[in-house]
Amino acid sequence: MSRQNQWIAGINAVSAAVEHDADNVREVLLEAGAKNPRIAEIESNARRRGIDVRRVAQQALDGVAGGLRHQGACARYAAARTWDESELQGLVEAAGGRALVLVLDGVQDPHNLGACLRSAAAAGATAVLFPKDKAVQVNATVRKTSAGAADRIPVVPVTNLARSLRDLQKLGVWIYGLAGDAGTSLYGIDLRGNVALVLGGEGDGLRRLTRETCDQLVTIPMPGGDAAAGVESLNVSVATGVSLFEAVRQRAG
């Protein structure tokens, strides 16, 4: 498990971090001599919360912002804790045959990822997996949306998602992929053992290789919608919540 600091830039991003996640803001850098009243507001809020604030030259802000538009405000932020792929086996084994893993195949919107993490934490999920590439990573927006869940649940960015799914299968985890064209209902399967629920991104759903690696494809029935549209008709964070809490319902029973 690792955790490194990162810099966030921009008045809105820094203001939101100070306002909603002050415990993870290490310091705030503000442009010396800036007249923007929002800069002064950030300084006041940060000092009130015990965060170190420094007024620095614009060149210093340019350096830490890494090319991002900083508007005179940057903050050093504690990045969310992430788990290494090698730790996944221990997490599954510690679940004692009741592992519940959420796998997100290419979610792009940080608000969706944050909402998925929040649902996963509420459902007591064992871990959340997603690709390191071609998917949003845990950033300040994700953490804000997740309401702290990004720091409460094991988050495992993986290099090769299909390979990670096969590793889970070797550990006795049954892989269910959510797909609108599947013929089996989510509500007709047993989710009480070692289970991974795999949901696709906002655009095309599950990628081909991910679909092929799943043990079974299932769908969320929607009597009020187009049956052919399936789970893609639901926002990925909504589908995540529905799927996870069906598993919670079965396990509670």
Q: Is 197 annotated as a binding residue?
A: no
Strand runs labelled E in the chain:
5-9, 25-31, 52-56, 73-78, 100-105, 127-131, 155-158, 174-178, 195-200, 216-218
Q: Burial-class residue 224 by CB neighbours within 10 Å (0-12, 13-18, 19+).
A: exposed
Q: Could you tell me whether strands 25-31 and 73-78 are parallel, antiparallel, or unpaired per DSSP bridges? A: antiparallel
Amino acid at 117: L
Q: Which helix (H) or strand (E) holds 133?
A: none
The first and second tokens of residue 166, run together, are: 């096969």
Alpha-carbon radius of gyration of the chain: 21
Q: Is 67 annotated as a binding residue?
A: no
Q: Is 234 annotated as a binding residue?
A: yes
Query: Phi first, then psi: what are they for 84, rounded to 5°?
Result: -85, 150
Give residues with Cβ within 8 angstroms of 170, minimum separation 6.
Answer: none
**Cβ atoms of residues 109 and 138 within 8 Å:** no
**Cβ atoms of residues 74 and 9 within 8 Å:** yes
Give residues with Cβ within 8 angstroms of 138, minimum separation 6.
Answer: 79, 80, 82, 113, 117, 150, 155
**Residues at the annotated binding site for S-adenosyl-L-methionine?**
200, 220, 234
**Residues at the annotated binding site?**
200, 220, 234
